[in-house]
């Protein structure tokens, strides 16, 4: 009888563990058997990793669980500064991952562009410097931020115009 209770308890614990992992991906019909978290640009952790975040249509900010950096500050000005900071952080990661797709100039043969500097302007605009070791470019980029339920769902480039080409 004690063996059955121990076995039953073990099965219950395993079921609860895997059941908890499966809850987040429930709407996407994903079976998650190991915790492999990624942090979305919306600040939410997706425990089932790439399949789950892709299903929800969220861009990846970085691998691993999200750092708790929520704008729970008291005054409106502080909340706005925090939100702006989160937007810039998400957009910088987006630019680093997509600079080669965004640029109308193509990198030199066998090379890729790397982001070297971002100079933030007003109204979600940035002057972005990037190069491939041979071509050095600066572009004016305007970002678009999509929110869902008060959190960043995704960021994208609204416009991308090359200003200098050296």
Tell me the per-residue pLDDT of 92-105, one tens digit each, with 9 for 90 and over.
Answer: 999 999 999 999 99
Distance CA 67, CA 163 (A): 35
pLDDT, tens digit, for every residue of 119-139?
999 888 999 999 999 999 999
Strands of 136-148's sheet, edge to edge?
114-120, 125-131, 136-148, 151-165
Q: Which domains does the chain have, with CATH numbers?
A: 18-68 (3.30.60.30), 76-165 (no CATH)
Here the tokens at position 145 are 């931020």
Report long-range pairs for 42-51 (Cβ below 8 Å, ≥24 apart).
Answer: 42/148, 42/151, 42/152, 42/153, 42/154, 43/69, 43/70, 43/86, 43/151, 43/152, 44/151, 47/21, 48/21, 48/24, 51/25
List the structure tokens of 87. 């937007």
Regions of the chain short of the pLDDT cut 50:
1-4, 7, 9, 11-25, 73
């Amino acid at each position: 009888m004690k063996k059955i209770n121990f076995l039953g308890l073990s099965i219950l614990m395993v079921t609860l563990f895997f059941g908890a992992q499966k809850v987040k991906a429930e709407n996407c019909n994903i079976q998650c058997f190991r915790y492999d978290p990624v942090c979305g640009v919306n600040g939410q952790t997706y425990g089932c990793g790439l399949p789950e975040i892709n299903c929800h249509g969220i861009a990846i900010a970085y691998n691993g669980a999200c750092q708790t950096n929520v704008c729970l500050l008291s005054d409106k000005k502080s909340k706005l500064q925090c939100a702006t900071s989160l937007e810039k952080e998400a957009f910088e990661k987006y630019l680093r991952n997509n600079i080669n797709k965004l640029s109308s100039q193509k990198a030199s043969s066998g090379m890729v562009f790397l982001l070297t500097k971002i100079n933030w302007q007003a109204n979600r605009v940035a002057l972005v410097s990037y190069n491939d070791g041979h071509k050095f470019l600066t572009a004016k980029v305007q970002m678009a931020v999509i929110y869902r339920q008060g959190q960043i769902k995704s960021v994208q480039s609204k416009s991308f115009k090359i200003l200098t080409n050296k």
